[in-house]
Structure 1
Amino acid sequence: MNSARVKGVSKKFGDVTALHHLDLQIGQGEFIALLGPSGCGKTTLLRLLAGFESPTSGEIWVNQECVADQARRKPPEERRIGMVFQSFALWPHLTVYENVVFPLQHQKHVPAAYKDNPKARVAQMLEMVGLGGMEERFPNQLSGGQKQRVALARAIVFNPTLLLMDEPLSSLDAELRMQMRKEIQFIHRELGTSIVYVTHDQSEALAMADQIVVMKGGRVEQAGSPQDIYYSPQSPFVAKFVGRANFLKGNWSCPSTFLLERQGEPTVPIAVSRDFSSFRAQQILPVRPDQLKLTAWQQGMEGVVGKVSHVEFQGRELLYSIRVGEDDWEVVTDISQRFSYGERVCVEVCV
């Protein structure tokens, strides 16, 4: 069962096409992250789902009902959709209680139990987001993290079918972002609400989402689970945008074997267990830094030999640059594996 569906949607602003014939399904209770660089169309898609914009072509469905096409658009308050913005968007002259209760008074399709006893429902939501007892405070008496929690409580108080979040953590500091990630995931598990979460932070998408939709230039570049997106990228853009990637040069002798080529060295066959068919025409193999293993080189060793050209301490791990032929490969190792500048190492590729 789908909470929402985007069918062949395009959106133009004058001569600029922001979205190109997009298709997307949002399953019941699913957490989907829209990930991509600025200007890729992810916020435009969110605004179309919310009802702030109309599609130039195509249809948008919410709860098995067509809520928008090029001829008509159902307003936001009739879609049973909650929204959390980057800027919090709280009313400064209203208390925390008044901000959170607002959707119960103005949204359509609010459950009768919530309308009949709004104080109990608001108190329940504020407890869930860690703000119990703060009903009478005003936004200017709250920290940035508390304001975002109020915005979150307001978005979920009427039990929306779909929760839309537009880079909600980008204005918070690093420690608070990590804390809020956990709280959003907790709320998702507790309520089972479908979430569409816009971000340009790949670590947020990998950590939180059930499905990641990577966008580029108004199109879906790849959609899949965080594991699929990270370990089985289908284009160089996805490989580079979601985490770091090395592009090894060589030839594909068959779908399961890549022949690594280095200037003046014999080819090295690499067994490949994943589908990288989209990279075959370019004769490259994308490899994550954690898919490379280093061992100290000893006389007579065969395989891929490189030299340490750079080392960075990263806390629990070390990031190495290894010079292999004319290329530099990035390698991440456990903190216990220490190699020196200029040291020769053997590199094993595990894909």
Structure 2
Amino acid sequence: MTTIIENLVKRFDQTTALKKINVTIEDGEFIAILGPSGCGKTTLLRLLAGFDSPSSGNISIGDQRVSDNKMTLPPEKRNIGMVFQSFALWPHLNVRKHIEFPLLHHAYVPKDTSVNISKRVDEVMEIIELTELANRMPSELSGGQKQRVALGRAIAPKPELLLMDEPLSNLDAELRMEMRKEIQELHRLTNATIVYVTHDQGEALAMADRIVVMNKGEIEQIGTPQEIYSRPNTPFVANFVGKANLIDGMWEADQFTPASNPNLTWPDLGVSVPLKKKGIYPIRPEQLTLMEDDRGGIHGVITSVQYQGKEIHYTVQANGQAWLVHTDLMQKFQLGQQVTIQLKVSVREDNRNVVYL
């Protein structure tokens, strides 16, 4: 079922938390709501869940209008599942009882499932790979196992919409990476429609079909992970997702001249029209290289060196701006060293690959 959010506004006294939000979520789609703290993403999730009422606008889940400025259906009357930031497990119920609970009490359990609850519990236990731990209590489970139980409880009644509120934020880094795979596999097996709130760009890029980037209560851009990363529409998106260097200058047709060096010309690598209109050229740190000699480029001084195992992250101060440059281990420079920043570009010209350095 399609979920439609139309002109959604939410105000708290004199503060407007959401400003005319419009999103259509297709059946079976994995949508990530991405943004910094205070951007309104959790408020949007609470409105989808029915914990809050909109000031104006409306929400429809499938064929049912669930919220507008006159009425709001409570969570128990919406065909949704919810996974919280905390695991929210009941200490007195074992794993199997957690999965069984929504099947006994959820208002929208399909008839073919409700007549054979035990079979559905077995199916979910296999999906979350906890069959052998069916009788374990929450206190006897690891963090990752607890999160699987929370996921299993949410998907058991086959909700139309599965809402996840930063479900991995309480896990350590290695376990978060593992749980990303688990959630992706769960999505593949169940084909559930998922709305996933996160401030972690890595999670959004890795898992979502589309990403909704929010800032200050508004949607900055909606697109696939590739579109959001490669063709940001606003300076905020370019900087928040991937930490692009935003270079000021002048666009003429498909050529850009940076203000810091009018002798340079950079080709269009797929820069969006809105950024061109602002006279901005977004460059990802991995699109730059550093040179010791004085060939054409931007001259600067290295002010930070961070070894990252497979690459080295440099900060270069040039013309009053801090440039982020990621290089492989073959390029090694020292703190305080004078360098030249150059753009790595590979383009097609007369059926040949031409590299500009």
TM-score computed with the length of structure 2 as normaliser: 0.90
Q: Distance in 2 between matches of 1:181 and 1:275?
A: 30
Q: Secondary structure at the match of 1:198?
A: strand
Q: 1:332 aligns with which of 314, 318, 326?
A: 326
Match of 2:57 in 1: 58
Residue of structure 1 equivalent to 2:342:
347
Tell me, in whole angstroms, the C-alpha distance in 2 between the residues paired with 1:6 and 1:84.
Answer: 20
1:236 aligns with 235
Equivalences for 1:1-351 in 2 at 5 Å? 3-254=2-253, 256-262=254-260, 265-280=261-276, 282-297=278-293, 301-341=295-335, 342=337, 344-345=339-340, 347-350=342-345
CA contact (8 A) 1:46 1:164 kept: yes
Q: Flag the 1:41–1:309 CA change in 2: closer, same or farther, 3 A.
A: closer
- Cα distance in 2 between the residues matched to 1:344 and 1:78: 62
Quick one: distance in 2 between partners of 1:302 and 1:42? 44
Asked if structure 2 preserves the Cα contact closer than 8 Å seen for 1:261 and 1:267, the reply is no
Partner deviation per Cα, 1:121-165 (whole Å, 9 max, x = no partner): 112212211211222222122222211111000000111111100
Uncovered stretches (5+) of structure 2, i.e. residues with no partner:
347-357
Q: Secondary structure of the residue that 1:74 maps to in structure 2?
A: coil
How far did 1:266 drift?
A: 4.2
1:234-282: CA deviations, max 9, x gaps?
A: 222112211212122322223x2211132xx543111113243323454
2:99–2:149 Cα contact (<8 Å) kept: yes
Amino acid at match of 1:242: V
Unmatched runs of 5 consecutive residues or more in structure 1: none
Q: Give me the whole-angstrom Cα distance separating, in 2, the residues matched to 1:105 and 1:19.
A: 35
Seen in structure 2, the aligned counterparts of structure 1 residues 248 and 269 have a Cα distance that, compared at 3 Å, is: same
Deviation at 1:49, TM superposition (A): 1.0
Q: Which amino acid aligns with 2:52?
A: E
**Cα separation, 2, equivalents of 1:296 and 1:235:** 33
SS in 2 for 1:160: coil
TM-score by length of 1: 0.92
Query: Partner amino acid for 2:127?
Result: M
Over the aligned positions, Cα root-mean-square deviation in angstroms equals 2.0
State the Cα distance separating 1:33 from its structure 2 match.
0.6
Q: Please report how far the alpha carbon of residue 335 of structure 1 lies from its aligned counterpart in structure 2 after TM superposition.
A: 2.1
Q: Report Cα offsets for 1:195-249 as digits up to 9, x if no partner.
A: 1000011111111111111111111111111111112222221122112121223
- Counterpart CA distance in 1 for 2:342 and 2:296 is 10
Paired AA for residue 344 in structure 1: V
Q: Return closer, same or farther for 1:172/1:303 CA change in 2, 3 Å cut-off.
A: closer
Go from structure 1 to structure 2 and tell me whether the alpha carbon gap of 1:10 and 1:325 turns closer, same or farther (over 3 Å shift): closer
Change (3 A) 1:38 1:302: closer
Residue 39 of structure 1 aligns to a residue whose secondary structure is: coil
Q: Which amino acid aligns with 2:273?
A: S
CA distance in 2, matches of 1:344, 1:6: 50
How many residues are treated as equivalent by the alignment?
345
- 1:305: how far off? 4.7
**Deviation larger for 105-114 or 306-315:** 306-315
Secondary structure of the corresponding residue to residue 206 of structure 1 = helix
Could you give the per-residue CA deviations for residues 274-314 of structure 1, whole angstroms, max 9, x where no partner exists?
2433234543322110111344536xx33445454432210
CA distance in 2, matches of 1:43, 1:321: 33
Distance 1:83 1:159 in 2: 12
| Residue identity opposite 1:285 in structure 2 | Y
Distance in 2 (CA, whole Å) between partners of 1:104 and 1:310 is: 55
